[in-house]
Structure 1
Amino acid sequence: MLLDSLCKKSLLSRVPSITSFCNDMTESKHNGLPITPTFMDDKQAGNCQEDDECSVKHYESGFCEKSPDLCCVRGTLTFSLRYDFIHRVLMVHVIRANGIPAENSEPYVKLCLLPERRNQYKTRIFKNCSDPECNEMFSFDVSHANLSSRMLQFTVYNFVRFTRHGLVGNVILRDLFEKSELSTWTEHTMQIIGTPGKDDFGDLLVYLSYSIADRKLYVTVSKAYNLRPMDITDPYVKIEQIYQRRRVKARKTSIKRANLNPVYHECLEFDLPLNEIEGTDLLVRVMDWDRIGHDDLLGCCIIGNNSPMPEGRKQWMDCFRDLTINAICDDSDRQPVGTWYSILDEVPEEFRKEIDQLSHKDNYEQLIERNRKIVVECVNVQAVEIDDAEVMRRNEGIFEMYFDYENGSRLYI
């Protein structure tokens, strides 16, 4: 016992404490001292990987412009940054957290440099503390040239001994070059943003405008707020024009990387004759882009006379309220009609059946409309060559791929 105690004391004496280490860093003005990061063990990394499904939050000033009541501020986090050009590492000094809610009495901070999650570090756990003084140092191996594409993520957790740790909130610092003087230590204090409620799947701002002269409907996807967190959320908006329960056309916005509050300001246009206004609806789906596999649904809303959402019916009526067949073709005085939607977690049943049935057929018909020769490869069916004037009979098999040799593009179905 005495020998074990002496060995343990000897080993501990070789490792400087975090507090003394940070004090040394402060006294030396953070000049080039070595950094010993605190790594997570396999069990902790596994638990946090599960929690990361709800952990990515995009922080921007003015994110709560829609309504201050929706802000989920869970305190503030103070930290400082500096880049060590000699050792090619980004040094992060987690200083303190303030104003963490009292129900989260044992907080700690986990941090990583997105989009990579290979090196994840965490601070020690603070017992019965709403304003923990962390004063801990960490470092990330990253070249200076790659910093422009990285985002620094801090996730605050509440330690729970015998169950899954609770997620308090997140801070993400983007544009490291713009917000930090990385050649010297730069201190930041940012809000810790909590996750939305269980029944809150986010909000979407959409504008509608109709051109009588062009017989076109212009849908402007402005911005989204508080989208449902995935592992890393890369959202885009897909709008499908549905006439008498049949899909006519689909349009998509661009993809916003690692962003739960994306700003698009993109206008999508749809051909809409006057006699089809009454029977047309718009299915607006917010999707999470995935490089491998199917894109996930983050939420949706329906705009039109048949919408189950009151705001969807109202916006459609407001857009076409003063419209008549004999109206003067002057669109200069017509203003876009904007509405915030609290998006639904899934597509309503009456729209879901039609979309599922038409998903494959529409892709095929869009290729036929190009007036080009297309090779169609089928399962258990020999490949054939067709023109736009020819009609293919779906006798057997499942269409797997359309290949347009003129464009050199592939569409998988």
Structure 2
Amino acid sequence: MVKSHGFDMEAIGNSAQRSDRLSFGKKPSRELPGLPYAVIGGVIILGIVIAIMFYLWRRRETKGSSQVDEGDKTPRAIIKMDQPPPFIIPSLTNPEFAKEFDTTLFQRRESLQPIAFSLSDIKPVDYQPCSDKTTFTPSKFGLGKLCFSVFYDEESEQLTFFLIRAVHLPAKNMRGTADPYVKITLLPDKSRKIFTKVHRKTLNPIFNENFVFTFPPTSLKSRVIRLVVYDFDRFSRPTVIGHVMVSLGDIDFKPPRCGEEHVWRDLKEAIPSELKRGEILISLTYLPNAERLTVVLLKARELNLPASAKTDEDVRLSIKLTMVTGGRLMKTKRTAVIRKEARPEFNEAFSMELAKSNTSDTCIVAAMQYQSGSFGYPKVLGRVVVGANRYSTGDGLAHWNEMMTTPRSAVVQWHALL
């Protein structure tokens, strides 16, 4: 071991070797002197450039706004005034302002000054009641009235029927209104049927519609106009409100009247035999525990088929049953097709689910259908609506209420087709 001046030279050499091994493989770090200063300098230069650009842009905008557009040829001038002109409030008392107006039109009358007028200045026509608010005598049948006029021209052989209005119609729904329309038929010709427009939510509809019929004067006295007022229903057959039969032989068509005067007639409830379509016998049973409704379509009678179907021996009959809940179609079923008979019997039962909570918002619609042959397209002869107060009235409502008051019992009743 070599020692020099009290130092261990071997130990010093070993420590130097260890330090060399530890530093082996490491890259020496090169720090860029002055890096933060370069970043700061770049930011400052960028800010100066942005400021110069903004200044040049603002100067250009100011210069452009002060110059007159070359396309604008309107001369402009700058007026310099030592003192602004005095502001004068417009007033009728100011002579400078009032001389341009007729001050007599702007004179105000004192509230206590009396008004002088004569009775001759009052026009009674201005104080007559409006025609829409005129009171009418109620119908003795309680179904309302129809107003119309009739005119016949012998030269053109044309009858003009003018349907004006209806008043005091009975309400047909829970809202206390109706959706009336009128079907017009000139008897004895039943082939041509004319309908008016449907008037929504009113009991006093104003029609103002003209209808023209052509026939010779020789048959004028034997003609009868039949007016049937219906209440439109989206979900079932329209309900008959009443009808009026107008015999043209009772109307004076001679001058000066010529039949143009307004005629008022009461609506009658009794349906003529021509309007009867037949009847269906229906049985209803409700099981509240099982929440199930059973409808039995038993038979039909006095079916009034069209003339074409009466002569056709190959006419088939069937009944289409529909259940409506909450205004939605829930289920549809149909009986078997049977041959035409005077009193056809179906005797088919249909069971449908009906919750207790929906019994006050449900109805069933039974539509009698007829078709030519086994593969003909079925046509509706008439319908029957049996259900809650929202959908049905009269016999249909009574039948439904009796079924609900006597659960688990079959309630049988005849219903007229409408």
Please state which band the TM-score falls in when normalised by the shorter chain: 0.3 to 0.5
- Structure 1 or 2, whichever has the larger Rg, is 2
Q: Which has the higher strand share?
A: 1
Task: State TM-score, norm by structure 1.
Answer: 0.36
Higher relative contact order (CA 8 A, sep 6+): 1
